[in-house]
Structure 1
């Protein structure tokens, strides 16, 4: 049995890719580093941007808003999440968010267990932006798009 090593990722470190929500996404820890327990990433979200309403079949998801202000749809509810807010969504819950501010927002995103890396890796490898990619690549990773992005 292999031992899982502790991980320290300093500011500015981590593997960065282009994220699906208008800014860079930096992996802080991937599933292969945590024995499949956790994926953690820092994501920059462009003003007005955010993913479509979706669910995860196998992962819980959580966010910590580092900078900026997001608005979340969690099931049938909408909640504001300014800097310093923490949001948790259990698997199977329809959710999406939007950067509600006028400048980029920065968030820490946690998936438990790990597994969503494959979605972000495949999205970043696309040769050009494809609006249907969130849905098609998401389905391959166990994520179902169930509605439009949050607007307004």
Structure 2
């Protein structure tokens, strides 16, 4: 991300869900208190819980989650999904911190989310 920029764009792939299995959340249910977040599906399908609503987004669909809205997402299909995630610098820093920590216990994760203006639900 360029220095001084407040938006980041990343392309990611989500593994598929085997038949008869429960989908695995890509991110746990959480809220960003200060940041909006968006996704654009390039291939496959992503499922989203946004507040009380559950939706599926397919190739060429975009999804926006306004700050303050509980959300999570997953790949509900067998085939991998490829997508873009559009996020603020603060969300990108949170994701980087999560990926770099070895401690994954609930209390550590809760504190980490709070450090970056978010809340783990």
Whether these two folds match at TM > 0.5 is yes
Aligned match for 2:110, one of 119, 125, 135: 135
* 2:55 matches 1:86: no
Map Cα deviations across residues 88-130 of structure 1 (whole Å, 9 max, x no partner). 1110011111111112211111124x212221221221237x2
Q: Which has the higher helix share?
A: 2
Q: How does 1:89-108 map to 2 (within 5 A)?
A: 89-108=65-84
Structure 1 residue 131: Cα displacement: 5.0
Unaligned runs of 5+ in 2: 17-22
State the secondary structure of the residue aligned to 1:121. Answer: helix
* 2:52 matches 1:76: yes
Q: How many residues align?
A: 113
CA shift in 2, pair 1:55/1:45, >3 Å:
same
Corresponding residue number in structure 2 for 1:18 = none
Corresponding residue number in structure 1 for 2:32 = 56
Corresponding residue number in structure 2 for 1:46 = 15
* 2:67 matches 1:67: no
Unaligned runs of 5+ in 1: 1-29, 147-152
CA shift in 2, pair 1:42/1:74, >3 Å:
same
TM-score for both structures, normalised by structure 2: 0.80
Corresponding residue number in structure 1 for 2:19 = none
Structure 1 residue 34: Cα displacement: 6.0
Structure 2 distance, partners of 1:108, 1:134, is 24
Structure 1 residue 45: Cα displacement: 1.7
Q: Which has the higher contact order (CA 8 A, sep 6+)?
A: 2
Corresponding residue number in structure 2 for 1:122 = 97
Regions of 4+ moved over 4 Å: none
